[in-house]
Amino acid sequence: MKQFEYNKLLIVLIAIGLFASLFINIQRHQVEVRNNSIELIVDYEDLVALAECEGVPVEEVMKQAKDAGITSLAVYETTFKKLNVNGKTTAVNGSDVLTSYYTGAMTDPDWRKLVEDGTIKGTEIYVTGHHDQTFKEVHEDLVRRLGKDRVTALNVGGSTVLAVKAQ
């Protein structure tokens, strides 16, 4: 009968793998033992919305949240779609503005004058703001991303409107 013999190289590799995994598991256990706390997180946008609804400064709402045990803020990327849904900014295609003018639905005399002067182009997008700080940030961001030559500020009835060239 043949004597069974273990492959020594295979045994050495298994032993090395076992010791490596034990070392990693000991480190993981030590980290898990030290991290036995939890964090309470609230959305930053929700805090800002709460401050606006209550008429309280954002800093005060944040201080109250911290005193209540909130330890972290969740911050998400602000998209133009979110700003549009929140009512802080609005984007309108130039073609929609022209359609509104030619169908007689446009009643604002300042916008009508811009159409009549040829300032409104069907290929541009017009951005209006309803929240000063947010509109300023949108303006700066558009200029930074697209360049000054593609973003023009227009004065429409005392309000600033951004004309953004498509390409």
Same domain, 89 and 113: yes
Same domain, 99 and 138: yes
In this prediction the pTM is 0.59
Same domain, 92 and 158: yes
Q: Which residues contact 11 (CB under 8 A, 6 or more apart)?
A: none
Q: Which domain holds residue 54?
A: 41-74
C-alpha to C-alpha distance for 90 and 27, rounded to whole angstroms = 53
* Any domain includes 14: no
pLDDT average per 10 residues of sequence, the chain (167 residues):
81 96 96 86 89 92 92 84 83 92 90 90 91 88 90 89 87
CATH number at residue 159: 3.30.200
